[in-house]
Structure 1
Amino acid sequence: MTEEQGAAGGGDGGLGERERAVLAVERRSWPGPGAKERAVREGLGLSPTRYYQLLNALLDDPRALAHDPVTVNRLRRVRAEKRQRR
């Protein structure tokens, strides 16, 4: 197990702190452009690119769905709509 997996896994089969924080960011509404990216950089210490990589992986993780089904299902619908438009 890598360090990232250990820190992210939470040990109990649930989501790690970082994954829960990513979902919490997605639950919020943001006042304008740049606010979310600033919160990601300052609050999570992640680049926006890495943040969206983690978020996209979370959308396929059954633990994320169990933790926050409303947010995960909403984001899955948005992702599917974007894929259809391409």
Structure 2
Amino acid sequence: MAEPAREHLPEQDPGKSLLADFTLRESSLSEREQQMLALERQWWKYAGAKEQAIRDLFDLSATHYYQLLNALIDREDALAHDPMLVKRLRRLRTSRHRARTARRLGSDA
């Protein structure tokens, strides 16, 4: 059987797996949580590719994955593990929240 969703994964060296550059660090984060952060470091070329990778790697729906990710990026140990990534994810979340609020209120805030 062919590997699922390989055509949707970001371009990389053929000999490397999606999370090959990921190394477990001494951390209070679980291996799965560290893998989630590693996945968030990836850039996606095709629409839907990230969601397919989430299903393939974690066996989660995208909705459940993002619920877990939002809880994860609020944790101080996640911030200590990868400060730049976690701060970027927090900024993006805040930006999306502000855009939703502005649409609900009918303003351009």
TM-score w.r.t. structure 1 length? 0.81
Q: Is the 8 A contact 1:40 1:48 kept in 2?
A: yes
Larger Rg: 2
SS in 2 for 1:46: coil
Amino acid across the alignment from 1:84 = R
State the TM-score, normalized to the length of structure 2.
Answer: 0.65
Q: Which runs of 4+ in 1 moved over 6 A?
A: none
Q: Could you tell me which residue of structure 2 aligns to residue 42 of structure 1?
A: 56
AA paired with 1:42?
A: D
Asked if 1 retains the 8 angstrom alpha-carbon contact of 2:73 and 2:90, the reply is: yes
Measure, in 2, the Cα distance between the counterparts of 1:74 and 1:81: 10
Structure 1 stretches of 5 or more lacking a match? 1-11
1:76 aligns with 2:90: yes
Q: Note the C-alpha offset of 1:44.
A: 1.3
Q: Which has the higher helix share?
A: 1
Q: How many residues are aligned here?
A: 75
Structure 2 gap ranges (5+): 1-25, 102-109
Q: Tell me, yes or no, if the aligned pair for 1:21 and 1:44 is still in contact at 8 Å.
A: no
